[in-house]
């Protein structure tokens, strides 16, 4: 069975809402297992065929936990080449963190699905629907 990881960080709950919607979309596709997680060790990333990062933007940066996770994966030369990756997240002012994650995923030679989904503050229904669709598209891509 193919495996999708939706990993997220959320202080306000806004990115968490988005993460749950992404996971819901991926779970709707048969033969795809989905894990929704707040924390994972860098070595565990290799257990997944697709990894979607829910990252809010704080002070124009991604959370330090994500920065450390991705730096550790790179430093330990954890092979993520060819795995599907994407990002999404909420923000209050600038919203750069999801795009910053995308750039790192490209450097790790992951297949980046699309531009990140971003929500200013709490995601509305249109944004949550886009998150569900992202999860579905990633899961369907794994099966093709």
pLDDT tens, 70-97?
999 999 999 999 999 999 999 988 889 9
Q: What is the CATH number of the domain that holds 55?
A: 3.40.50.360
Q: How many domains does the chain have?
A: 1
Give the predicted TM-score (pTM) of the model.
0.95
- Which range of residues forms the domain containing residue 96? 2-143
* Mean pLDDT in residue range 124-134: 97
- Other C-beta atoms closer than 10 Å to the C-beta of 29 total 19
115 band by pLDDT with thresholds 50, 70 and 90 = confident
Strand partners, 5: 35, 51
For residues 132 and 63, what is the distance between their CA atoms, to the nearest angstrom?
Answer: 23
Is there a contact between 52 and 131 (Cβ–Cβ < 8 Å)? no
Strand partners, 93: none
């Amino acid at each position: 069975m193919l495996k999708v990881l939706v990993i997220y960080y959320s202080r306000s709950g806004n990115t968490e809402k988005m993460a749950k919607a992404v996971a819901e979309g991926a779970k709707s596709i048969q033969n795809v297992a989905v894990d929704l997680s707040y924390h994972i060790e860098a070595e565990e990333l290799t257990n997944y065929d697709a990894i979607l990062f829910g990252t809010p933007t704080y002070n124009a940066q991604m959370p330090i936990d994500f920065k450390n996770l991705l730096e550790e994966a790179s430093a330990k030369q954890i092979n993520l080449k060819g795995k599907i990756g994407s990002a999404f997240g909420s923000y209050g002012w600038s919203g750069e963190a999801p795009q910053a994650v995308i750039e790192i995923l490209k450097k790790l030679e992951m297949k980046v699905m699309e531009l990140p989904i971003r929500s200013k503050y709490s995601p509305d229904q249109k944004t949550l629907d886009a998150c569900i669709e992202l999860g579905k598209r990633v899961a369907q891509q794994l099966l093709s």
